[in-house]
Structure 1
Amino acid sequence: MKTMLDKRPGVPGALAAKASKARFLIAVMLFLTVVINYMDRANLSIAVPAIADEMDLSSAQQGLLLSAFGWTYAALQIPGGWFVDRVPPRVLYPACLLLWSLATVFMGIIGGFVALIALRLLVGVFEAPAYPINNRVATAWFPERERASVIGFYTSGQFIGLALLTPVLSWLQSVLSWHWVFIFTGGVGVLWAFVWYFVYREPRDSRANSAEIAHIREGGGLVDLTASRRERTRVTWSDIATVLGRRKLWGVYLGQFCLTSTLWFFLTWFPTYLVKYRDMDYIKSGFLASLPFIAAVIGVLFSGVFSDFLLRRGVSLGIARKGPIVAGLLLSTTLIGANFTDSTTLVIVFLSVAFFGNGLASITWSLVSALAPERLIGMTGGMFNFIGNLSGIATPIVIGFLVTDASFAPAFVYMTVVTLLGIASYVMLVGRVERVRESRPVPETG
């Protein structure tokens, strides 16, 4: 029997039935995966003061160890994006999760400076496809007007996980040893890999009903990404020209490098800064280190919801997406205030405001979803993450060379300058937010 809604002119039949909410389970799964992903990135920053004491490491050696993840993570973003365009998330994500989690577990079992660097390089290898997969899943499962909110929600996982787990991992290290930080975090990832494989499905293969699929598709969600994959298996020069030859894409690439520089400070040097330069013990530093992450959670959740609210009120896609990003970057420059006070309380306030700004700006993947050519979403996301995460190499190493035993001030100056360059990139290079066309039409395959 048809309802009154069925009889209204212009209402598609697929939308006449009440849409299911299967996509919200997908959002929760992405959130939990990001929590684990960032827990396995940040665990070393918690352990490195104890490792440095045990192995008598210099600041430069600590910077090298902290940067090891970034070398392979950045280098493999484009190959990772290539895999994302060809291997379904149900298969690729759990495989990556299992492998990077096992490498993390072995960091707690195998000692030695060289071994830690080698295993950290492996963690970077297998985490490389993670955020392109997240973007691929969000693009398939969510309409445009919900996408910034869901990206903000799952991105908040990186901060919520760090805010809640930094004190826990610091306590675990103080009670047992730094080895257990890696064994615990890696073990959680191994378990989640199996959960993802058995639960995740593409929209048309899931419990989403036809009304929900129609809602996603008609709102700009690409529900048929898997079915529409091209048969060819190699990257062409035309693909590379498209991904590397567009000014607006370079705007988000360079902007992401500048944005993630602040993030990588918090993921690498921040606990050491509190322990060594602020003379805190591991328990107190673990608690205080969690406060900026809580501020970032508030920032990123507000950013996604506010951005989608602006879009629904008729504000242009460019302003709705770029506005929170630029405002967040401006707030991130407040971390320079830490150079002008001896008060630990004020330092935490400055850094919390800065990391709130970093969270506010962290919906940058919504721009990748909106700008990337439909057929090259994974490859564009890979390039975006590659250039952005070069900061994962640069930030730990540059800070390691800039700081002295007596002063951390040059590190904050460096990050402030980089953040200002990020603002210029989003304002001057990105331009109108619209999907990039490919360099040439792709012939249809039979």
Structure 2
Amino acid sequence: MSTTAPAAAPPGAGKAARHDRRAWTVTLLLVVFMMVNFADKSVLGLAADEIRADLGLSATQFGLANSAFFLLFSVAAVLVGLAADRVSPKLLLLVMALLWSVAQVPAAIGGGLAVLVASRVFLGAAEGPAFPVAQQATLAWFPDHRRNLPGALITLGVTLGVIVSAPGLSWVIQEHGWRAALWVLVGVGLVWAAAWAVFGADGRHGVRDGERPTQQTPSVTAPDIPYRRIFRTRTWIGATLAYFTSYWTVAMMLTWLPSYLRNGLGYSADTAGRIVAGPWVVGAVVLLAQAAVTGRLMRRGAGSRKARGWVGGWLLALGAVCCLAVPLADGPTAKTVLITLGLGLGGAYATVAATAVAELAPPSRGGGALGAMNAVVTASGLAAPAVVGALVDAQGDAGYQNSVLLAGLLLVAGAVASFLLIDPARDTARLAA
């Protein structure tokens, strides 16, 4: 009798499997990180009516209080994004999570408008770099052709943060007050920080570390490419403009959608707390679908201009159509469906922008390129809450609907920028020349 020896495992197979397990563990933790991040952002919108009644605020004042969150948001995104090219992302993420928790304590304890504004400014500074650093930390574990899914999952954490937290936080607000909801978020942030300290880690994937470039992406290895050259590329400009319009809808959803549902469309507080998750559910489905479509196109040899720029452009265009159709709808149900689809589609652009810029920028400039984009983009978060608040004060309930129309017009501009400007392969080749 003869025996056949089992085939030996390929060299390095065990190491590769351990690397993959660690990569997906880090990705899962960072998905939760983004969930906590957007639960923090959404809590004031969920408690808008209660906070305005408690502190005696007009719609404009409440909008400005929410805009205060973004006062240092962009500055912090740039500074920490640049630091992420030199400092361990694991350390940066841990410090951010701890600062989130500390930032919310003063408003949770008590105080009026001044304390609330100061707390939100501090929180915004701590959370400003969250998305670009989380994206960079995640994408560093994967080669370019495998980045669509993990990039989409990080953005999915944004939508899951609102989907999961909105019903629970709404219940806490109704039963125990809006300050109790802040204490809940303080505790959740501290728990995540403890888990990240134990299980978090930095990845090392990139062209400079031996990754073989894809056919669509020429290798860019020069460590001294100035940031200004990256910022002048049509891809960086197009991704930033398109993402700016998308983030406007996100800021509007976070701050004013619950009030629109309650005051503009007549839903009860409990019902609004459930419906408010609708656009985020749509966004989650769209994000996963976008990652699948983009990945399939790239596997078939399509350039990232089509796989990322055009796919993202269609998302914004469809969202714009739904938003602009809201005045034509008859009754609150039809309007709710259009708003849900329009804001959900319009707010689902982040992965397209992040992966396009990550493909464009060399590894030594990835954090700065993403951080600068995020800084410009989130300036829309500074403007949107105040603009909508002013519309509501000036026009009453009609101001809510007009704010949706404004979002639709901005999404049209974003779609045009995505279609016409984004082409990472073209601009990467020019940077390498």
- Give TM-score scaled by structure 1 length: 0.86
Alignment of 1:253 onto 2:235: no
Aligned counterparts of 1:190 and 1:98: Cα–Cα separation in 2:
6
Q: Is the 8 A contact 1:292 1:353 kept in 2?
A: yes
Q: Is the 8 A contact 1:60 1:401 kept in 2?
A: yes
Alignment of 1:367 onto 2:356: yes
Corresponding residue number in structure 2 for 1:225:
none
Corresponding residue number in structure 2 for 1:281:
268
Q: Is the 8 A contact 2:238 2:418 kept in 1?
A: yes
- Greater Cα offset, 114-123 or 427-436: 427-436
Corresponding residue number in structure 2 for 1:147:
147
Aligned counterparts of 2:133 and 2:69: Cα–Cα separation in 1:
19
Equivalent of 1:420, from 412, 418, 424?
A: 412
Q: Is the 8 A contact 2:235 2:357 kept in 1?
A: no
Q: For 1:108, what is the secondary structure of its paired residue?
A: helix
Aligned counterparts of 2:222 and 2:202: Cα–Cα separation in 1:
13
Alignment of 1:200 onto 2:189: no
Corresponding residue number in structure 1 for 2:396:
405
Matches within 5 A, 1:256-267: 256-267=243-254
Matches within 5 A, 1:377-392: 377-392=366-381
Q: Is the 8 A contact 2:357 2:369 kept in 1?
A: yes
- Greater Cα offset, 40-49 or 112-121: 40-49
**RMSD of Structure 2 on Structure 1 (CA):** 2.8
How far is the alpha carbon of 1:319 from its aligned partner? 1.2
Corresponding residue number in structure 2 for 1:19:
17
Q: For 1:19, what is the secondary structure of its paired residue?
A: helix
Structure 1 counterpart of 2:253, one-letter code: F
Q: For 1:135, what is the secondary structure of its paired residue?
A: helix
Corresponding residue number in structure 1 for 2:40:
40
Q: Is the 8 A contact 1:143 1:217 kept in 2?
A: no
How far is the alpha carbon of 1:213 from its aligned partner? 11
Corresponding residue number in structure 2 for 1:394:
383
Alignment of 1:336 onto 2:327: no
Matches within 5 A, 1:18-167: 19-20=17-18, 21-22=20-21, 23-167=23-167
Q: Is the 8 A contact 2:139 2:150 kept in 1?
A: no
Aligned counterparts of 1:48 and 1:16: Cα–Cα separation in 2:
52
Aligned counterparts of 1:16 and 1:182: Cα–Cα separation in 2:
44
Deviation string for 1:386-406 (max 9, x for gaps)? 111111011111112223224
Alignment of 1:326 onto 2:318: no
Deviation string for 1:349-373 (max 9, x for gaps)? 1122113413553322111211123
Q: Is the 8 A contact 1:299 1:359 kept in 2?
A: no
Structure 2 counterpart of 1:388, one-letter code: V
Q: Is the 8 A contact 2:359 2:424 kept in 1?
A: no
Alignment of 1:429 onto 2:421: yes
How far is the alpha carbon of 1:258 from its aligned partner? 0.9
Corresponding residue number in structure 2 for 1:299:
286
How far is the alpha carbon of 1:17 from its aligned partner? 7.2
**Structure 1: which 5+ residue stretches go unaligned?**
7-12, 205-211, 222-227, 231-235, 442-446
Aligned counterparts of 1:318 and 1:57: Cα–Cα separation in 2:
46
How far is the alpha carbon of 1:149 from its aligned partner? 0.9
Corresponding residue number in structure 2 for 1:354:
342
Aligned counterparts of 2:95 and 2:269: Cα–Cα separation in 1:
34
Aligned counterparts of 1:213 and 1:247: Cα–Cα separation in 2:
23
Alignment of 1:345 onto 2:333: yes
Aligned counterparts of 1:138 and 1:17: Cα–Cα separation in 2:
19
1:387 to 1:323, Cα distance in 2 relative to 1, 3 A: same
Structure 2 counterpart of 1:423, one-letter code: A
How far is the alpha carbon of 1:2 from its aligned partner? 9.6
1:38 to 1:4, Cα distance in 2 relative to 1, 3 A: same
Deviation string for 1:276-311 (max 9, x for gaps)? 212322211101111221111111111112211221
How far is the alpha carbon of 1:438 from its aligned partner? 9.3
Structure 1 counterpart of 2:335, one-letter code: V
Q: Is the 8 A contact 2:290 2:311 kept in 1?
A: yes
Structure 2 counterpart of 1:37, one-letter code: N
How far is the alpha carbon of 1:436 from its aligned partner? 3.8
Aligned counterparts of 2:124 and 2:363: Cα–Cα separation in 1:
27
1:47 to 1:262, Cα distance in 2 relative to 1, 3 A: same
Structure 2 counterpart of 1:54, one-letter code: D
1:415 to 1:353, Cα distance in 2 relative to 1, 3 A: same
Corresponding residue number in structure 2 for 1:444:
none
Corresponding residue number in structure 1 for 2:218:
none
Q: Is the 8 A contact 1:105 1:187 kept in 2?
A: no
Aligned counterparts of 2:303 and 2:238: Cα–Cα separation in 1:
18
How far is the alpha carbon of 1:382 from its aligned partner? 0.9
Deviation string for 1:35-88 (max 9, x for gaps)? 011111111111121110112211110110111111211232211212211210
Q: Is the 8 A contact 2:89 2:137 kept in 1?
A: yes
Q: Is the 8 A contact 2:173 2:181 kept in 1?
A: yes
Aligned counterparts of 1:229 and 1:128: Cα–Cα separation in 2:
29
Segments of 4+ in structure 1 off by > 6 A? 437-441
Aligned counterparts of 1:80 and 1:47: Cα–Cα separation in 2:
30
- Give TM-score scaled by structure 2 length: 0.88
Aligned counterparts of 1:424 and 1:288: Cα–Cα separation in 2:
30
How far is the alpha carbon of 1:107 from its aligned partner? 2.1
How far is the alpha carbon of 1:345 from its aligned partner? 1.4
Q: Is the 8 A contact 1:149 1:307 kept in 2?
A: no
Aligned counterparts of 1:423 and 1:24: Cα–Cα separation in 2:
32
